[in-house]
Amino acid sequence: MVEKDYNAINEGIQRESLPNRIFRIPEIGVLIPLIVITLIFGSIKPVFLSTINILTIVRAIPFYGIVAIGMAYALIAGQIDISVGAVAGLSAIMAGIFIVKVGMPIGLGMILALLIAAFIGLINGILSVKLKIPAIIVTLGMLYAARGAIVVLTEGRIIYPLTESLNNFGKATPLGTSWSFIIYVVLIILCDFVLRKTILGRKIYATGANVLVARLNGINTDLVRISTHVFVSFLAGLAGILFMFSMKRGSPNIGVGWEFLIIAGTIIGGVSLLGGFGTVWGAFLGIIIMQVIFNGLVLVGVKPAWQTIVLGAMMVSAAGFDTWRRTRKT
């Protein structure tokens, strides 16, 4: 049934006029503004287009972008998680404690930290899906709980120094970028394939589009939604650990403010807050456009307070555009 409905939707889209078909591609709606914004900042500050600055942007993208992949899955399934920044910070701290303080092997310490992150996602999913508590309330509470746990575990101190092998990993520049960026690209390709080409991906879209219809078609919608919570938390944990490696220290401030940047970038990338619509590549472009804008604002001398105002305006505009696009008459 899901396969048949999915094919019917595709056939309907193919019968549309070319402009409407292009309009429905979220990546196009982000790519064009990205090019325009890049050219504007490049004309104002030529250094913006320098190799050094471009690499700076590229190296900053993976940490937000990895989490944005999971956020895209959650939003498409009709869920949301605003605890991702705190989960990233807690996972980084736990990995630092396991590896540096306890002396565990690097691989084991990372695995345990990632399992903790996934478990937090499982709790979020069960509370929001099974107990019907709104996901935004559950994950807001988890944000504060995770931040409190970080303070308790670290007492406000950084974990330093990391092992030599981790420091070498963090400062390595394969292909002129970083290992974090390469891991990010691999995740984009794999997760995009799963979302677009597999039955699991179609179930995620169907669940976000209409839970009742998806359930009538035999989809275990509860399992789908809970799994997206686990996935986004797992990726948040991975991003936090990679960020710690790049910084060469475990700071209690890792992940602070990430959630709103990630949600804004994902929405700007065309992933719908209403569920059932969006792509991993769209989230990727949304994160890029966020980084380009903030990098450009810094270069032209805009104060941090105004940068925050810009972020708020972008979030409201993206959410408003998403609502209009999904509710407009076709």
Residue spans per domain, the chain: 39-327
Nearest to 221 by CA among 124, 120, 73, 77: 77
Q: 191-225: per-residue pLDDT in tens?
A: 999 999 999 999 999 999 999 999 999 999 999 99
Confidence at residue 329, expressed as pLDDT on a 0 to 100 scale: 47
| Amino acid at the residue 248 | K
The predicted-structure confidence for 88-136, as pLDDT tens digits, reads as follows: 999 999 999 999 999 999 999 999 999 999 999 999 999 999 999 999 9
CATH fit for domain 39-327, picks 1.10.3470, 1.20.1420, 3.90.1690, 3.40.190:
1.10.3470
For 232-261, the pLDDT digits (tens) are 999 999 999 999 999 999 999 999 989 988
pLDDT over 70 for what percent of the chain?
Answer: 90
User: What pLDDT digit, counting tens, does each position of 31-54 carry?
Assistant: 888 888 899 999 999 999 998 999
Whether the predicted pLDDT of 23 surpasses 50: yes
Check if the beta carbon of residue 262 is closer than 8 Å to that of residue 68: yes
pLDDT at 264 over 60: yes
| In the predicted structure, residue 324 carries a pLDDT above the cut 80 | no
Q: What confidence category does residue 19 fall into, taking pLDDT thresholds of 50, 70 and 90?
A: low
Least reliable range by pLDDT among 15-29, 128-142, 147-161: 15-29
pTM for the whole structure: 0.88
Residues 175, 52: Cα–Cα separation, whole Å: 14
